[in-house]
Each structure stands twice: as structure tokens, then as C-alpha cells.
Amino acid sequence: MNLSIFFEPLPEDPFGYPENPKSVGSYLAPFVHSFPDWRSAEVVLIGLPEYRGSTNTTDVTYQGPNRIRQELYRLMKGTGAWLLMDLGNLLPGIHLEDTYLRLKEVIETLVDAGKFPILLGGSHDLTYGQFLGYEHLGKTVNLVMVDSQLDMVDDERATPEQSHLHRILLHEPTYLFGFSNLGHQTYLTESSTLAALEKLHFELFRVGQVRQQMQEMEPVIRQADLMSFDVSAIRHQDAPGQQYANPFGLTGEEACQLCWYAGQNNQLSSLGFYGYRPEFDHRSLTATTLATMVWYSIEGYYQRLPSLDFQSNQFLKFSVGFHDNPNKMAFYKNRHTEKWWMEIEDLSGQRPPFVVPCSYQDYLTAADGEVPHRWILMQARF
């Protein structure tokens, strides 16, 4: 597919030539004059200057992606080859639905080619277009969101940004296997919404749980095929460039830690950053925070390990017995990274056992004779 027809070039003046030859801007090919050959890239940046799904868009400057780029290009390159390209900004469709479909086609093409697109949004409802890009795969996928509230308003008066999660969950054909939300704040979310998602056996972590159990978030993110990060999950002190100021939320450092986990996830094939409103970001603090989060995502990507072979010497296997079965549950530990996986046996017998990410705490729980909650969730989703 000729992706160039979907994009507009970047303005040259705001970026110019990188002052430092070791900066990120010196190691990427941006779409300024000619569309880059994205097939030779590994990580691809895409700007999404689309805000029609949001509220109060009168003062929107549509320069959000470019402001993030300005700060990202100035950062120093990390380790690894960094085969990075910036395809410019996606041209919005005539209608908002057209933008979703354009984003769908772009994600389809890039994911099929084995590229890792990083999306710089735009309102959070663009996650729906990102999600549509996985419909053609013919398999179920796992979605992880980081958001201060769950966008499941079931009201025809609601904006797409307020209801896009509801639309994702009801999408036909159904190909969403797992959903997890990190960082929601209970006083911003209806209790009925939380109850409905818990009945679907999805994982929901309050901002306090994320902060207190940061290492436990790593296996949650390690299951994701796509991830969506709303800037509203970050407290106002670190990210004032959002529509509704919130004094509580993740710190910038915690947000970067989650992005580091995301980048390292071999299974993750797209990552979106949404909700940035530059008209509220007078000193570019939010743009700097988001640029650093993108940097950690890319750096994590270049720390990914080769495909997993649980029968190799790279892994240690631990078997935990329950009652009359000495090998009821199996765990695997990577000798180098010390990350854990858990083998799940389908009790219905309809599929062979499969291995999912877990934590050391899951192993300790099983060793104490209790079934880990993660194992129960996986069984319930079948």
C-alpha cells in the first residue's frame, strides 16, 4: 500500500537541523520533503492531529503531535540501532469515522510488515481506530489502557472520547480477548462501570495500586498487543497540557516506567499517546513529559529479547503441586531478566496449554497452595 497518500509533510522550520549529532532528531528520517521508505524502519512515528471526538475544541491548535516532536528530537539517542522514521501527520478524513478507517488501514499495513508504530494524538477516541487495525489478523488480542477514567459512557449525547471503550467492547466481530486499565481514579468512574468490567473478567487497577505495585504492572503490560495512554492519567503538576486539570494521578516518572515496560514487550505491536492539548501547555512541560515517555518506549523496544523458547536453557521450570496432582501448575523464569511466565491448562480441553506472563508473586501464591488470581482470570475468559 502507498501510505504516502494518507500523510501530510512536517513543517521544516519548527524542527530545523538537529544541533547535536547524537540527538534523536539526527537518527530519524522525517517526512518533510519526500516520504521516507518506511519499510526499512523498525519504529515508526505517526502524528494524529484529530480532535473532533473531544469536547471544547474551539481553541485547539492541532499542533499537539508537532510539539511532542520538538521535544523528542532534542533528546539524546539511547542504545541500539534506532531505525526510526517519522511519517508525518495523518490527514484527517472528511468525517471522524473516515479518520478511524484511515488509521485502521495504516495500522494494518505497519503491523503486517512487523513495524512498531507509535501514535502521537489527538483525542483518546482514536484508540478505536488503532484497535480496528487488528481486526484482519483473525485472532484475539489484548488491549491495555492507561487512563484516569473508563470511557464507557452509554449515552447518545456523549462524545466519542467519552464512549470509545464502550464501542470497542461491543465491536463485531469480537476479537478482544483481554482488557486491562491502569491508573483509573474511583471518584471519576461510575461504580456500575467498574462492576460491569469486572464481570467480564477484565483487570482494573486504581492509580494507588499502580503506584504501590509498579512491578506487578509489568506482566499486565507484557500481555498487551496494543496499548493506549491517555495523558489524563498523569497528574497536572507533570502534565498540565490536558483538558481537565487533575491534581492526582501518575507522576511523569511512573508514566515513563510503564512505557519502558511497554517497549520491552515483544508482543506489543502499537502504542498510542492521546489527550495532549497544547493550548494548555504554555511551557511545553507536557510535551517534554510525553517526549520522554516516547523515548523510554523506543529504548525499551531495543531491549527486547529474541522469541521465547521455554524448553531452552534460557528458562528455569518450576512445577507446583496441588493435592493429588504433583504437576498441576508450571512456571517459567528467564535466567537473565528474571521475568516469570505461567502455563495455563484449558480445563475445557478445547485448546492446548499456553503460557502467559505472570509475576514472582503469582508463583509464591501457588507455592503456598493457593490458585493465583491471574490463573482464575484466564480460565474465566475462555
Chain center to CA of 285: 21
From residue 196, alpha-carbon distances to 166, 181, 193, 201, 372 in Å are 11, 13, 5, 9, 22
Per-residue HEC secondary structure of 302-336 comes to CCCCCCCCCCCCCEEEEEEEECCEEEEEEEEEECC
Report angle CA 114, 116, 121 to the nearest 5 degrees. 140
C-alpha cell read off for 357: 506472563
The whole-number pLDDT of residue 291 equals 97
Cα dihedral 144→298→302→8 (10° resolution): 100
The whole-number pLDDT of residue 324 equals 62
Count other Cβ atoms within 10 Å, centred on residue 52. Answer: 17
Q: At 46, which helix (H) or strand (E)?
A: strand 43-48
Cα dihedral 109→112→116→117 (10° resolution): 20
CA distance 210 to 219: 12
Region(s) of the chain under CATH 3.40.800.10 = 3-301
- The closest of 250, 237, 243, 126 to 185, measured between CA atoms, is 250
The whole-number pLDDT of residue 156 equals 81
Instruction: State the angle between helix axes of 252-264 and 214-222 in degrees (0 to 180), rounded to the nearest 10.
Output: 40
Coil/strand/helix, residue 91 = coil
The whole-number pLDDT of residue 15 equals 62
CA distance 178 to 354: 15
Fold exhibited by the domain 3-301: Arginase; Chain A (3.40.800)
CA distance 163 to 175: 19
From residue 357, alpha-carbon distances to 156, 173, 181, 374, 379 in Å are 38, 26, 17, 9, 14
Name the β-bridge partners of 234: 250
pTM of the model as a whole: 0.95
CA distance 320 to 340: 14
CA distance 51 to 304: 33
C-alpha cell read off for 126: 482514536
From residue 45, alpha-carbon distances to 85, 132, 280 in Å are 6, 18, 23
Digitized pLDDT (tens) for each residue of the chain, 382 residues in all: 789 999 999 987 656 556 788 899 988 889 988 999 999 999 999 999 999 999 777 677 788 999 999 999 999 999 888 999 999 999 999 999 999 999 999 999 999 999 999 999 899 999 999 999 999 999 999 999 999 999 998 888 899 999 999 999 999 999 999 999 999 999 999 999 999 999 999 999 999 999 999 999 999 999 999 999 999 999 999 999 998 888 999 999 999 999 999 999 999 999 999 999 999 998 999 999 999 999 999 999 999 988 788 989 999 999 998 766 655 789 999 998 999 999 998 777 777 888 999 999 999 999 998 989 999 998 888 7
Report angle CA 371, 373, 377 to the nearest 5 degrees. 115
CA distance 29 to 31: 7
Per-residue HEC secondary structure of 359-379 comes to CHHHHHHHHCCCCCHHHHHHH
C-alpha cell read off for 75: 533528546
Cα dihedral 327→328→332→338 (10° resolution): -110
